[in-house]
Amino acid sequence: MTDAATLFGLCAAVLVGLGLYGFIVNPQPLRKIIAFNVIGNGVFVLFGAVAHRGGALGWGGDPVPQALLITGLVVAFCASALAVTLLLRLAEEAESVTLAPDVPAPAEPATDARDA
Amino acid sequence: MSLVDLFTVAAVSAGAFFFLAGSVGLLRFPDALTRLHALTKADNLGLGLVVLGLLPRVDGVLGGLKLVAIWLLALLASAAVSQLIARVARRTGPRA
Amino acid sequence: MAEFLLAAALFVLAMVALGFVRIMRGPGDADRMMGAQLIGAGGIAVLLLVSAATGTGPIVDVALTLALLAAFASVGFFKSAADAPTDDAETADRP
Amino acid sequence: MIETLNAGLALLILALAVWTIVARDTFAAVVGFVAYGMLLTLVWVQLHGVDVALIEGAIGGGLTGAMLVRAAARLRRTEAAARAEHPAVLTRMAAVLVAGSASAALAVAVLTLPDPAPTLAPETATNLAATGMGNPLTGVLLAFRAMDTLLEAIVVLFALIGVWSLAPDRVWGGRPGPRHHADPDGILAYLARVLPPIGLVVGVYIFWIGADLPGGKFQGASIIAAMWLLAVMAGLSDAPPVSRTWLRLALIGGPVVFIAIGTAGISAAGAFLAYPDGLAKPLIKAIEWALMPSLALTLALLLAGVPERPAR
């Protein structure tokens, strides 16, 4: 039992390192997001390994860290979704910047209806 | 070894063989469409035979239904996905 | 019996690991998606085998979730390829 | 045998992780990441976290994969320029050093974890009966650590507000994402007609059994969100304009019920988010039922993206 925790714990340690390396070295923002996710997965798996070691009373793991993992995974997904959306919007805007580097992007028409 | 065990061993082994066939085909076949053909064998037959082999071991009707549902879902997914991938592959054509 | 099922799971895992080689080699995006698809199908089979070997029923629900969403990434792939008809090697190399 | 299986799994995961980091082509890296997400599900199963495996399967294997694949395809035209940027050798060396030491430090920590492991399992077991839940994770999520779950539901909502606020003025409050079209007799439309009803049943089933067995609202909500997105991608359904009142009410409904029940706890049980004796189970059920549709909608709209079309 403890073997799985140690094995995947070590695997998680390597994942964090790999992600960190990719996060620093890869120039593309999307690759940085993916690398950051790899770091996150490493942290989560490490946490899961610790939870697994705390298993008692017929439960395979300590339920408190496992429950926090569920919250963590959902929040990590939301952060990634926000980051990816931000990046896609940036690519939309930056495209016009690349095509005409000297001309500022046209301002949005001020007459647009805004609803709250 | 009981008859049920024998059945499981036979069906799961056959399923594993189709995963072998699918993987080798995916690696060795020359172009996207033939590789797709190999992939669907692993999806359909490999998973299907594994499910078949495990069916006598489940407890309760619900467990069995879930196993069959997994196989049917995999069939549906693989049928749809292989068509979609094939369309992309045909349009983009072979490229190195 | 449990040993046999786990051995079968290991074998299936080793086989779908070859799908990774297809992801690496490509050459087309479609080929890479196929590699991921194979790993997904193999993952479902491994889950079912582990569930039967360890007698953990709820693992089947995990397999059910994966089976349900197996097509999802590929549908996204198809849509993005369909949305951008010229999206390919040609445009990737455009200055 | 199980040790060999685990070792093989760990190796394959690491190989895929290396690939997602070093692959030249971003799309190739993303596909590797999708496969890696599916295999992580197996890791959670081997670590005896079936609840976590369910959420990883739904989010890591499904939603994240589709999101990244589409992003990689849309960003492909920026690839060539980005490839020209090469970090200096010095940066690479420094990165190796930083990453290596982080890994080494964590590995040392893993190998020197205290034995016996500290655990809250006995405390959870003693107090679980008071919540009326059979699944300890649901008990932890909605009773012992209910504050985390409440804040999470709000963070998810904030992320959605963040996404919406990226909309340009002319489509402010409009419909998210492009309008998808697909051949109505084609295979994609067929898949999107057959799969969502099944997915809805499975999603509700996973949610329902979450009281006593692995499962719960997050897992169920992710599955349902994926099914709705499938219908949208096949052109069978369309995302509603984000300025619709019913939509906003549905989004905040879950957190509002959660906060209301939590606030009622101040007078009824003496603390925020405390449940009166004997009422814990029905109150937890009420929160879960209110939270699940809100979560499903929020996750789906997060993936649907920025409003791109006017509301009309």
Domains of chain A, earliest start first: 4-95 (1.10.287.3510)
The verdict on residue B50 lying in a domain is yes
Q: Which residues of D touch A38 (CB under 8 A)?
A: 17, 20-21, 33
The verdict on residue B76 lying in a domain is yes
Number of domains, chain B:
1
Q: Is the peptide bond before D116 cis (omega within 30 degrees of 0)?
A: yes
HSE of D232 in the Cβ direction (CA atoms, 13 Å)? Answer: 20
Q: Which residues of C touch B46 (CB under 8 A)?
A: 12, 41-42, 45
| Closest residue in chain C to residue B74, using alpha carbons only | C67
Nearest residue to C38 (alpha-carbon basis) of A46, D68, B35: B35
The verdict on residue B96 lying in a domain is no
| Closest residue in chain B to residue D199, using alpha carbons only | B73
pTM across the whole model = 0.86
Mean pLDDT estimate for chain D? 85
The verdict on residue B34 lying in a domain is yes
B–C interface: beta-carbon pairs under 8 A: 155
Q: Give how far D271 is from chain C: nearest CA, Å.
A: 35
Mean pLDDT of A94-114: 44
Nearest-angstrom CA–CA distance, D231 and D226: 9
Q: What is the pLDDT of residue D160?
A: 93
Asked if C32 and D31 come within 8 Å (Cβ–Cβ), the reply is yes
Integer CA distances (angstroms), A48 to C51, D22, D52, D94, in order: 19, 26, 9, 29
Would you call D43 an interface residue with chain C, using a CB distance cutoff of 8 Å? no
Q: Quick: pLDDT tens for D217-235.
A: 888 999 999 999 888 888 8
The verdict on residue B47 lying in a domain is yes
In chain D, DSSP assigns E strands to 175-176, 307-309
Q: What is the pLDDT of residue C91?
A: 35
Locate B23 and state its tokens. 């993987």
Q: Which residues of A touch D145 (CB under 8 A)?
A: 64, 67-68
Q: Give how far D187 is from chain A: nearest CA, Å.
A: 28
Q: Quick: pLDDT tens for D9-34.
A: 999 999 999 999 988 888 889 999 99
B–D interface: beta-carbon pairs under 8 A: 16
Q: What share of chain D is helix, strand, coil (3-state, %, to 5)?
A: 75, 0, 25
Domain of B83?
Answer: 3-91
Query: In this structure, are residues B7 and B45 in contact, taking their beta carbons and an 8 Å threshold?
Result: no
Q: Quick: pLDDT tens for D232-251.
A: 888 888 888 888 889 889 89
| Closest residue in chain A to residue D37, using alpha carbons only | A41
- Please indicate whether chains B and A are in contact, defined as at least 3 beta carbon pairs under 8 Å: no
Q: Which residues of D touch B39 (CB under 8 A)?
A: none
Q: Quick: pLDDT tens for D255-290.
A: 999 888 888 888 887 788 788 877 778 888 888 888
Asked if C28 and B73 come within 8 Å (Cβ–Cβ), the reply is no
Q: Which residues pair with D175 in a beta bridge?
A: D309
Mean pLDDT of C22-46: 87
Nearest to C80 among D1, D73, D234 (CB): D73
